[in-house]
Structure 1
Amino acid sequence: MPVSAAALQAHLLDTPSGPVEWFGQGAAAEPARGSLVLLHGIQSTAASWFGVAGHLDAARALIVPNLRGRGRSHRPATMAGYGLAGFADDLAAILAMAPKPITLAGWSMGVLVTLATFDRHGLDGVSQIVLASGTARPGGEAVWFRASTPEELVTEAQARAARLRLSEAADPLAVAGAWLSVRDCNLESVLPRIGVPTLVLHGESDDECPVSHGRRLAALIPGARFEPWEGAGHHLMAHDPQRLARTLLRPCAAEFPATIVASK
């Protein structure tokens, strides 16, 4: 039976930094079957995954967090509070309470947060990873924002939210702080140490993070599988939520040779 996006319930998780809001379904889930943890991007919120949630199997626990600067999650007062280390701490707290085994899916900046969490805390309990529309090395070709000041970033962020069809957006301070934190980072050294099955998804028409970045992620993660999506841009959840849900539910532990899979 699929999850109803309207039935997702909001919860608050207390962490050392402050509360982190997350959404999940009710009593229908079977914790023994593990969980799906779905991570949003730099400007979006948990709501970016709600369309996909309507196509997911309710038998597994579904956890869709709002990282800091979104919804009822805590809001640091300065841009420095929205660095990758802070987002990684938020995600680590979510993973610690999620039923195991965990399928962890990160989209866009969610890929960087996943990698930073692995580097900072490890990913105990995560049995497979899905990295969508992401990179380990922003800047250069993978540029989500071109403005350099907080004021300019706010204006640019508003236009980007409309272009990507985001139903909700993060606080402008959170967006500015996150971009200033990640634009020059390089987490490629993390990739060869990932030891769980990993699927890399990327739209072939992504104009914010070229498909070459997805190919490089897959090339540097041992045994990772790369799946390009023909005709898709950056926002895979909006492009085809049903296909993305099917992909997340696909058992992958036994089907991960180092290969490239043609888009379907």
Structure 2
Amino acid sequence: MHETSIFITGDGARVAYRYDGDPGLPTLVLSNSIGTTLRMWDAQIPALARRFRVLRYDTRGHGSSSVPPGAYSLDRLGRDVLELLDGLGIVRAHFLGLSLGGIIGQWLGVHAPERIDRLVLSNTSAYLGPAPQWDERIAATLRAGDMEETASTFLGNWFPPAMLQAGGATVDKFRDMLLRTDKHGLAGAFAAVRDTDLRRTIALIPNPTLVIAGRDDTVTAASHGERIAATIPGARLLVLPAVHLSNVELPEAFEASVLEFLLAA
């Protein structure tokens, strides 16, 4: 696996990224959920890197990327991707985002569709309001002495009870990611979600789009995915019998559906 590299954005933030796959292959960008790093995609790399040059990165506020203070905007998170593509000389790429990554994908489809080939929006939503609930979460996150309670809540929202009770390396890996997440980065990303409402504008997305929803997702309900697929012209919908991290819970079905869509003539 290639080492992580660093890119500096226009506003001086550090964005960590990693490439896997042959440089001659088409680029596929992977964008992570809140509370995770680019390592949330580790299990997908063997399958995806056979057909694509996979570019994954840590969203600002997460992993090895820097943690600027204050609220983040979706516009800034989207521009981080565009500046990274520019810096690496990538004119167009496929884009796969899950949860917050899927919100960033929607923004790119609206504001920079010429940079995207095919778009995969997984376990995500166009709107997760109302705002006051996010203000409360931001305040609670910043007050907390550590990430223990946040990690416990997130894991309960991400995985089915049986998987959590069984524990093991996968659950431990995601717990570790959460515990290492800077609370200011988490709060900044929460603010971007709080201020997002793409319910009408995603009708403008011209890119071929696959929407993946989790039947049992309590974070971004399957109904949210259904609404996205109904709004983006020609979008396809796949509902998997999963909770929130469908790539982790059902990796083979997830990878097969993504590859089938991206490789379609």
The SS at the match of 1:207 is coil
| Aligned partners of 1:38 and 1:104 also within 8 Å | yes
2:101 alignment counterpart = 110
Task: Give the whole-Å Cα distance in 1 for the aligned partners of 2:89 and 2:214.
Answer: 29
Query: Which deviates more, 194-203 or 15-24?
Result: 15-24
Matches within 5 A, 1:89-108: 89-96=79-86, 97=88, 99=90, 101-108=92-99
Task: Give the whole-Å Cα distance in 1 for the aligned partners of 2:135 and 2:251.
Answer: 25
| Aligned partners of 1:56 and 1:246 also within 8 Å | no
2:168 alignment counterpart = none
The size of the alignment, in residue pairs, is 240
- CA change 1:242–1:208 in 2 (3 A) is same
Task: Give the whole-Å Cα distance in 2 for the aligned partners of 1:155 and 1:251.
Answer: 38
- Pick aligned residue for 1:218 from 226, 229, 240: 229
Task: Give the whole-Å Cα distance in 2 for the aligned partners of 1:111 and 1:240.
Answer: 18
Matches within 5 A, 1:9-20: 9-17=3-11, 18-20=13-15
**Alignment pair present for 1:176 and 2:166:** no
Task: Give the whole-Å Cα distance in 1 for the aligned partners of 2:89 and 2:121.
Answer: 19
Equivalent AA in structure 2 for residue 11 of structure 1? S
Task: Give the whole-Å Cα distance in 2 for the aligned partners of 1:253 and 1:57.
Answer: 13
The SS at the match of 1:147 is helix
| Aligned partners of 2:67 and 2:184 also within 8 Å | no
The SS at the match of 2:150 is helix
1:238 alignment counterpart = 248
**Alignment pair present for 1:75 and 2:67:** yes
TM-superposed deviation, 1:59 = 4.2
Q: Which structure dedicates a bigger proportion of its chain to helix? A: 2
The answer for unaligned runs of 5 or more in structure 2 is: 159-170
TM-superposed deviation, 1:45 = 1.1
TM-superposed deviation, 1:154 = 5.0
Equivalent AA in structure 2 for residue 248 of structure 1? V
Task: Give the whole-Å Cα distance in 1 for the aligned partners of 2:138 and 2:55.
Answer: 33
Equivalent AA in structure 1 for residue 185 of structure 2? A
- Pick aligned residue for 2:207 from 196, 199, 213: 196
- CA change 1:90–1:39 in 2 (3 A) is same
| Aligned partners of 2:62 and 2:186 also within 8 Å | no
The answer for unaligned runs of 5 or more in structure 1 is: 1-6, 256-264
1:247 alignment counterpart = 257
Task: Give the whole-Å Cα distance in 2 for the aligned partners of 1:156 and 1:228.
Answer: 30
TM-superposed deviation, 1:144 = 8.5
- CA change 1:190–1:98 in 2 (3 A) is farther
* Length-normalised TM-score, structure 2: 0.80
Task: Give the whole-Å Cα distance in 2 for the aligned partners of 1:128 and 1:209.
Answer: 22
| Aligned partners of 2:109 and 2:206 also within 8 Å | no
The SS at the match of 2:113 is coil
The SS at the match of 1:188 is coil
TM-superposed deviation, 1:126 = 1.3
The Cα RMSD (Å) is: 2.6
